[in-house]
Amino acid sequence: MDKTQRQYANCGWIPAPDRKGRALVPPDYPYDYPEVCSGYYTSLPAVIEAARAASWRREGALSEFYDTKPNELVRFAIDVIAGEFKSVEQNSIRKSKEG
Of 74, 86, 91, 83, residue with least CA distance to 25: 91
Print the domain residue range for 88: 44-99
Total number of domains constituting the chain: 2
Q: Assess whether 23 and 69 both reside in one domain.
A: no
Q: Assess whether 28 and 48 both reside in one domain.
A: no
Q: Assess whether 98 and 51 both reside in one domain.
A: yes
39: in domain: no
Query: For 16-70, what is each residue's pLDDT tens digit?
Result: 999 999 998 888 888 888 899 989 999 999 999 999 999 999 999 999 999 999 9
Query: Which pLDDT belongs to residue 33?
Result: 87
Q: Assess whether 29 and 48 both reside in one domain.
A: no
Torsion angle, alpha carbons of 4, 7, 8, 10, to 10: 160
Q: Assess whether 25 and 52 both reside in one domain.
A: no
The residues, ordered by sequence, that sit 6+ positions from 34 with a Cβ below 8 Å of its Cβ are 23, 25, 41
Q: How many CA atoms lie within 13 A of 76 on its CB side?
A: 3
Query: Which pLDDT belongs to residue 98?
Result: 85
pTM of the complete model = 0.74
For range 60-83, the mean pLDDT:
93
At how many degrees (to 10) do helices 45-58 and 72-98 cross? 70
